[in-house]
Chains A and B, each alone.
Chain A
């Protein structure tokens, strides 16, 4: 049966009014929503940035493939082309031995100048600096490149790479599990608090039923009320997290130049939107589940 528009208006109005009528209980529910969302939101920012840090570290992983000394330019060129066309290779840069020396000297700082006299008899090899599309493919790509006869050797920090990926994988899994666990906990806590506010209105629901209200008539205002509790409860933590994160981001940007946080835009809006959606849904879920129990009159 279709609901008349004026009845729908009535339900909406009642939903708003109920928030006011049950002032303290509404406040308690909204506070529970706000606190839990704040924790979930802060944790989400933490996880996003941890992932960002891991990505930064992993993306620094590169393969240095050194050519044999006696390989000529055309042969180097064909190896470069072959590596470039490899599916798992993101980026290849050719670095000849002179550049290699520059980089090496630079890395030594002022002490590097003493190596200037090596310029004539440069012992270094021409090299390819390779990045894999997926950092975790590094070892496989390195092995394939090493198989080329023109390549003398490859280096990619194989000793620490395995450990690094083990650690980063664990951090990712742990982070994901914690987020899921936290979301479940907050869904449970929020819907339980809302349940308490409705528990105190058991009599009210029974009267409605005894006066001849249908189940959906009883339910609808609670639906609106639950959604509103979720909505209003989400505003403060979202505002707080947005402002806080933007501030933290610019602070880190100025003070710690070697590691930047994930840019607030659009990440902040995505997380806020998600928090808002979850909050409203949990509000509705909590209210509907608790009303359901009292409808059998």
Chain B
């Protein structure tokens, strides 16, 4: 499903974010990506949605080599990957409903279908009653749920979440994890970058640790392994 081989990424300012990274993630897996700040987690995510191009190496998603994608093909890649950003990246002037509907409008979904799918996904994240709210009226946890709802409304095969529990209180963080677990149970592959040691150590999954742009540890049911 996701394969990276000898991937290097050097930024124009000379910083080497990834330094020969090898990863393979199968369909339906739930993977934590951990590591100290600046280890390369965000670069790793940006490479998967082609927000960045690797300087070297091969990245394959669903058998497609991202290096071969033309600029015109990038939107179609992104529609197959749901992404939950740490800063939510919601449209601040739009309602909850409109934020989620946007991901369906992009794929030119039928207006009737949009309605049904948006309400379904709001049900999953438990915010059906707030469909008409403006996103600025929501709490951090609610915003995160909307971001998750938008990421999964297209039923992508892969959900990438960058620090989805960052800046959230423990209770909210756990309910977000519950939602992700549920999505994973429906067959969606989940890759989650996190600093939350409590979650990683409690809800045991495969853990990939990155340091200095390389995978230093990869174990199923592993622990966080860093000082929280």
Interface set of A (CB-CB < 8 Å, partner B):
4, 6-7, 10, 21-22, 203-204, 206-214, 217, 297
Contact = CB atoms under 8 A, between A and B. Distances in A.
Interface in B118-153: 150
Contact of B106 (A22, A213, A297): A213
B106 A21 contact: no
A67 B103 CA distance: 90
Contacts of B89: 203, 206-207, 210
B93 interface: yes
B93 A211 contact: no
Interface stretch (B33-41, B75-83, B198-206): B75-83
Contacts, number: 48
Interface of B: 49, 51, 72, 75-79, 83, 85, 89-91, 93, 102-103, 105-108, 110-111, 150, 154
B12 to A, nearest CB: 14
B72 A297 contact: no
A213 B154 CA distance: 13
A212 B51 contact: no
A10 B93 contact: no
A211 B150 contact: yes
B111 A6 contact: yes
B78 A210 contact: yes
Nearest to A6: B111
Given A21-B93, A207-B91, A212 B75 contact: yes
A212 B150 contact: no
A210 B49 contact: yes
A10 B98 CA distance: 12
A211 B103 contact: yes
Nearest to A217: B106
Nearest to A203: B89
Given A6-B111, A21-B93, A210 B51 contact: yes
Contacts of B51: 210, 297
Nearest to A295: B71
A7 B49 contact: no
Q: Which 8 A-B pairs have the closest CB atoms?
A: A212-B78, A212-B79, A214-B75, A213-B106, A212-B75, A21-B93, A207-B89, A211-B103
B102 A211 contact: yes
Nearest to A207: B89
A210 B108 CA distance: 16
B78 A211 contact: yes
Contacts of A22: 93
Nearest to B156: A212
5 contacts: A22-B93, A203-B89, A210-B49, A210-B85, A210-B89
B75 A204 contact: no
Contact of A204 (B91, B105, B107): B91
